[in-house]
Structures are given as C-alpha cells and as structure tokens.
Structure 1
Amino acid sequence: MGIFKIEGGIRLKGEITPQGAKNEALQILCAVLLTPEKVTINNIPDIIDINKLITLLGNLGVKIQKNGSGSYTFQADDVNIQYLETEAFKQEGGSLRGSIMIVGPLLARFGRGYIPKPGGDKIGRRRLDTHFEGFINLGAKFRYNREDHFYGVEAPDGLTGANMLLDEASVTGTANIVMAAVLAKGKTTVYNAACEPYLQQLCKMLNSMGANITGVGSNLLTIEGVENLGGCEHRILPDMIEIGSWIGLAAMTRSEITIKDVSWDNLGVIPNTFRKLGITLERRGDDIYIPAHEDGYEVKTDIDGSILTIADAPWPGFTPDLLSIVLVVATQARGDVLIHQKMFESRLFFVDKLIDMGAKIMLCDPHRAVVMGHDFKSQLKATTMSSPDIRAGISLLIAALSAKGTSTIQNIEQIDRGYERIDERLRAIGANIIRA
C-alpha cells in the first residue's frame, strides 16, 4: 500500500483547477449502455473508481476509444450480456459502488440486469431498496441470491411506465430508475426524485440522446418513454466536493488560492456554508478566490446566538460528502460548531485521529460531533494515520498539511479513488507531500 508523507505548516499559493465530477461521471458512464451509437464524454476524472468502471464497461463488450486527457468515446453496439453471470463480473462489480447504475440501462435495453452487492466506502448502511423497488414498479421481476449476495432484475417483455414515490431521494437510485424509464413503454413519474446538479446533467444528456424527460432540477420528474436513443457528446461538470476540499485547504493552511472554473451556478449552498465558518471567498468570473486568512476565521452563530449547526441534507441542502471537510476546518475556527451527519452512521469515526493531533472534538454519538476551534493558537500536531474512506482521507490530508511536523497517511488508495493526482497538484501550489 502507498503512503503520503506530508510536511505541514507550509503556506500554499497559486491556482488549482478541479477535476471532473466523480459522482456525475459514474452516472454518465453507465448511460452509454443505453444506445448502440457512439457517445463521447469529456472531462472524465482519472481516478481509481472511474477507471474501474471504464474497465467494467470494456469487459461487457463496450468499445472504448481514448481521445485525449479526460476524453473518451464509447460504443455499446456489441454488449456481452452473458458476462454478467461470470465469476469475474461478480468480483469486478462487487469492488465498486457505482457499478449498481449499470443495472437500469441493461434492464431497459436488454431486458435483464445483474449486480453483486456493490462495494465503496465503509461509512454505514447504504441500502439499495430504492433502486430495485423502482425497477419492480416498472414491471421487472426481482430476485436475490442471499448466499453470494447477487441481485437480479428481469423484464423479457420490456418495461412499462409507472407513477412512483421514492422512499428516499437517493441520487444513484433516481439515476438508475430514470435510465430504465427512458426506454419503457408509456409515461413514468418519479416523485421525491433527487435533484442534484449531477442528476440534472444525466437528464440533460439523456434528452440530447433523444429521451423525453421534463421537470429536470425539481423533485418531480416526468419521463415519456421512447423506442431508442442515439449518440451524443457530453462534458462533465467540475467536482463540487473537490472544490469544497480546496476551500477547506486554503483556510486551514492560511493560504492564498484561486480555484479555477468552478461552475458557480452549480455549487448551491456550498460557498455560503463555508462563509458561515468565517471563511472569506470571492467570486471572480467563474473562479473562487480565497485570500490568506492571516487573522483566522470566526464562526457565525445563529440569529438567536445559539451554536452554529452544519448538517447534511438532500440537494439543495449541504452535501454529506463535505461534512468531513467542514469538521476539519472547524478545528481551527474561532468559535464552536455542531456537525450533524444525518445520513451515514460511521462517517464521523475518523475524528479520533484528529483528536490525536490535538483537535478539541466531542463525539456526541455516531451522527453528531461538537468542534471547539483553536483559532490557530494551538497548531495540530503531526502523526501517523490511515485513510478510512475517500472523504475522511482528504480531510486528514488537509489536517496534516496544516499540522506542525511530518505526518504519514497510510491506505492512500482510498484518497486516489476520488482525487486525481492529488500529490502532484498540491506540490504545484507549494505543498511538501511525497508519495512513497
């Protein structure tokens, strides 16, 4: 396993450009299975999880052509559906959470889709019921092999549109259902649909392929089924989670950083949430400029003077993927913050590593932590730690970059799953980080 060695306490300076959005790419790549025509996708991030999915598509028989950095053309005109029943697929599909989203397109186009229990971050229970209940509503028959945790849905006579109310606003569940419904007979309505920008991007791409989806951006989607879809060209948005990570990095290291081409209109409440922590960030065209916070940053209390609470919620609420970043940033704020992670019960357990570094954090329960900021009067101390998941990993990396001394982060493959060439890009703005 690789490690990062980080010399902390160094001020950074310069420009950094966010990669393409991981969570959008996972959806968009699965959608290429819906048509036999060529689909070109640009701004694909070069990260482990995405490369695994591209390899999986290739093993399914999708023709893949690399056009240049971050640009690929896919053509699913000779899909080997039998590959889904091989042992190789069970191992490959089970190593990646995003593999679940191949089921909807395969079911819609070929009448069947199978998937082993998908992998991904160990951040708590991540149910799949929303996906399969949606497929059942569209007329698919569901089966589950408990012995080897293998899921299957079949609709040999095709899918039929239906009205459904999702039990949760699952992003991947909504994406899977939409991709199945675009080729179903008749009209489908999906209420309590996720409406994240990445889901909107998927719907826009599908419409450009010939689908008929209305209500994009709302929690009520209407899909008129069509007989087939054609090819298209699509560009993936910048990754909002990485943008939030760079904001947190700039604040914690008191560095002057410009984040380029962030697609401000798709950031939602992210900028204002960091402003609540006292962080100054300016909009300059489509860039974010963060000045060096020489005097630190002061947490804003609620109107009635009570402690600031930052909690996750479905879009347009604050994304749970950035709560780990906010928690780390709060360790050096002037003031106290209550972090409430509602969606995943294991995501806050990495705080013991921050406590070892000298952070003042009280873990109330699996979902809540109170952070008492140091106001830079006490610097975090370097230590050796292991990255438990993607977002906790980047949070620990930010903590290490601000800490006094040399830290070691193990299991950095978790960080590489979500962040492209992160050590090279950080060195370009002055960080002392070595991959070993």
Structure 2
Amino acid sequence: MADLIIHGGKPLSGTITPSGNKNSVLPILCATLLTDARVTLRNVPLITDVEKLVAFFTEQGSAVTWDRAAGTMTLDHSTFDARRLNGELPAGMRSAVLLFAPLLQRMKKFALPANAKGCSLGIRELDPHLEILEKLGAKVATHRDDLTLTLKGRFQGARHWPDYMSVTATENFVMAAVLAEGQSVLLNAASEPHVQDMCAVLAAMGAKIAGLGTSQLTVTGVAKLKGGTFTINSDHHEIVTFLALGAITGGEIRVKNSLPHHFDLITRSFAKLGVKIEHDGDTAIVRKRQKLVVEEPFTSNLLPKIEAAPWPYFPVDLLPCMIALGVRSEGAVMFWNKVYEGGFTWMSELAKFGAHVVVSDPHRITVFGAKPLRPSTVEAPYIIRAAVALYMVAASIPGKSVVKNADTIKRAHPNFVENLRSLGADVEWK
C-alpha cells in the first residue's frame, strides 16, 4: 500500500487533459466480447482494472495489442477459447460482473463461485444481474457455493422493470439484449454518462438501441455486431476533481475535453459552495482566489444541501469532492448520499484535520465549514474519491500531511501525482 506525502498550502494552477473514463472503458471492453470482429479503442486509461481485463482476455486466447503510452488498444476475440476458463473472473474487481452477459453470449454456460461480498460503500448485490439474465432467457442455478449460468441459443427479448437504477445491471441488460431475438425494454434504466458511452459504442457496432440517456431503453436484437474504432470519452469524475482542486487551493485550473453538456447540475452544485465554473468551448475553467461561501437558499429556514443519487442527480461518486470544498467554505451545508449506506464512514478522518462534520445517519451529514485546520496523518478508505477528498483538504493546509493507503486512487487516476505536480503541487507517493 502506498501513502501520499503532501506539503500543502500552495495554489494549484495550470492546464489538465483528463484521462479516459474508467467507468466507460470497462463495460466497453466487456462488450467487445460480443463480436469476433476487430475493435480498436483510443484514449484507454492505464488503470489496474483495465490491466486485469486484458490479462483475462489473453488468458482465454484473445489477441490484445495495447500501446500504453499512446492509450490505444486493439482487441480480437476470434481466438477466444471457452475451454480455458477455469471459473475465475478477474479478482478484486467489482465490475467483473459485466462479463456475465458477454460470456453467456459466447460460451452458453459457465460456473463460478457464488460471491456477493460487499465493499467499502456497502453491499453490492448480484440479484439485479441474475434477474435480468433470467428475464432474458438464461437459467441460473446455485449449488452450495457455486453459481451456474446457462443459455440455450440466443437471449430472448423481454420487458424488465428493476427495483432501482443500477449502472452495471443496465449495462448487462443492454449487452444481453443487443444480440437477443426480438425486442427488449428496460424501465428504470441507469443513464449515467458512462452508460451512454457504452450504448453509443454498441450502436456504432450495429446494435439497435433507442432511448439513449433516458430511463427507458428499448433494444431490438440483431444477429451480429461488427467491429470498429472508438474513442473513450473523458472522465467527468476527473474533470470535477481537478476543478475542485483549483478551487480549494485558490489556484486557476483549466481542464480540456470537459464534456460541458454533462455539467449543468455539477456547475450549479459548485456554485452552492461559492465556486464559479466557466466553459470556453470544451475547456472548463475555475478562476483563482475564489471566495468559498455557502450560498443561502431563498427558503432561508432550510439548510443548504447537495443531494447525490443516480444520474441525472448530482453524481454520488463526486460527493466527497464537494464535502472537501464544504470543509473550506464559510457556512453550513448538508450532503445527502441517497445511494450508499457506507459513503460517510471516513468522516472521522476529516475530523483529524479539524473539520467539523455532524453525521446525522448513514446517508446524511452536515459540514460546518471554515473551521481552523491543521496538517495531519489520515487513513484513506477503499473509496477512490474519498481518498482524493482527503488529499484535497491536505493540499489546502500549509504544512506536511500524509494520506495513508491512498493507492486506491490509482484505480481511476492513472497519472494522479504527475498531474498534480504539473499544477505546482508538492506531493509524492511513498
């Protein structure tokens, strides 16, 4: 495990080009299993989960060429050999569940240990995925600790309305439905930018998907998908992270390829903490020396709040960056995580810096900002953006701080320290 050593109190300024979206590239990589045609991906981020998927593909006989420096990858699954699969999917990678539908399409049957373990954000269940696969014609059987999935012929078109909007379950539904017989409809579908990205790539490969970006997807199955060359979009999480870093340290940061069409609500959420985000074409800008003051609502007897929930709400994964800004802002603000019951377990680490945070329940906290802060040594949870938020607070405080076990950041930010140094940060891995 690696620690971040931070000498804070320095404004971070400069220009950043964000990496490709981790949450887009992983389902897109899994979706390439749906064709034997060659697929080339550009702007592929160099992150551990991509490494794990590539290793898995090559172990099954697929041909993968990856120019890591250029961020270009070519995949050819025509040599995929189902007999090599030993029942083990990539370890330590929650998104391995995205392999379920593509592997069933290709293999028709596979077995693996039944494992619905949780993670730092709370329990992640397999049931929504299994319900979708069954609804579309697969057979699911469990025996002791084994889970066996079977598909005779093709998936069959069906209508499904799940309990809640799940990103990965939506992606599994689409990957099963694109080659199914007939039409499939998913209501209460997730519509996050990365879901839209995967659907757009599949559509370019010949899939027929209607309702892109909405909560109802209609997929008309086709017999075959083609290959092609596709570019992974920028990671909106990383864009927000660097804008927030500029704001909390008083610097001026420009982020290229910033996807402004996704930013209306995000920009308004920044404004609630006194931060103005500007857009010049596809470049997002946070100007230097912004005065962090919580915006008072017109209904003055209500506490200002930022609510995070499935898209098109404010993205729940970005809430920690806003919490870090809240710690530095004058005034009080409530943060409401409507998804994860374990999203605020790291508040005790913020308190080590001197932050004043009241935890109301597993989903709501109130931050009383602009309290005196001090450098500290804190422990990062296994939550990417929470580790980033702890770095943000440390970077705003003069003196030496340490964020221990922060290498979970590498799961989403392949060049985190290098980018920070380019902005003038004094930070290193140790």
Please point out which of 74, 92, 97 is paired with 1:95: 92
Q: How does 1:43-192 map to 2 (within 5 A)?
A: 43-67=43-67, 69-86=70-87, 89-90=88-89, 93-116=90-113, 117=115, 121-147=119-145, 150-192=146-188
Partners of 2:12 and 2:245 within 8 A in 1: no
DSSP-derived class of the 1:331 partner: helix
Matched, 1:408 2:406: no
Query: Runs of 5+ in structure 2 lacking a partner?
Result: none
Q: How many equivalent pairs are there?
A: 427
DSSP-derived class of the 1:200 partner: helix
Partners of 2:274 and 2:292 within 8 A in 1: yes
Amino acid paired to 1:344 = Y
Question: Which residue does the alignment assign to 1:336?
Answer: 332
Matched, 1:273 2:274: no
Shift of 1:120: 8.2
Question: Which residue does the alignment assign to 1:369?
Answer: 365
Q: Distance in 1 between matches of 2:201 and 2:71?
A: 17
Q: Distance in 2 between matches of 1:123 and 1:157?
A: 37
DSSP-derived class of the 1:339 partner: strand
Shift of 1:118: 7.0
Partners of 2:117 and 2:123 within 8 A in 1: no
Range that drifts further, 57-66 or 417-426: 57-66
DSSP-derived class of the 2:328 partner: coil
Q: How does 1:237-276 map to 2 (within 5 A)?
A: 237-276=233-272
Q: Distance in 2 between matches of 1:175 and 1:371?
A: 35
Q: Distance in 2 between matches of 1:227 and 1:289?
A: 46
DSSP-derived class of the 2:85 partner: helix
Change (3 A) 1:109 1:11: same
Q: Distance in 2 between matches of 1:29 and 1:258?
A: 30
Partners of 1:95 and 1:118 within 8 A in 2: no
DSSP-derived class of the 2:317 partner: helix
Partners of 1:387 and 1:409 within 8 A in 2: no
Question: Which residue does the alignment assign to 1:347?
Answer: 343
Q: Distance in 1 between matches of 2:110 and 2:266?
A: 36
Spell out structure 1 runs of 4+ moving beyond 4 A.
Answer: 113-116, 118-121
Amino acid paired to 1:399 = V
Q: Distance in 2 between matches of 1:191 and 1:216?
A: 12
CA RMSD of aligned residues (A): 1.7
Question: Which residue does the alignment assign to 2:297?
Answer: 302
Shift of 1:145: 4.5
1:263-294 superposed Cα distances (whole Å, 9 cap, x missing partner): 11133521221111110111111111111125
Q: Percent identity of the aligned residues?
A: 34
- What TM-score do the two structures reach when normalised by structure 2? 0.95
Q: Distance in 2 between matches of 1:233 and 1:112?
A: 30
Q: Distance in 2 between matches of 1:145 and 1:405?
A: 56
1:219-263 superposed Cα distances (whole Å, 9 cap, x missing partner): 111111111111011111111111111122111111111111111
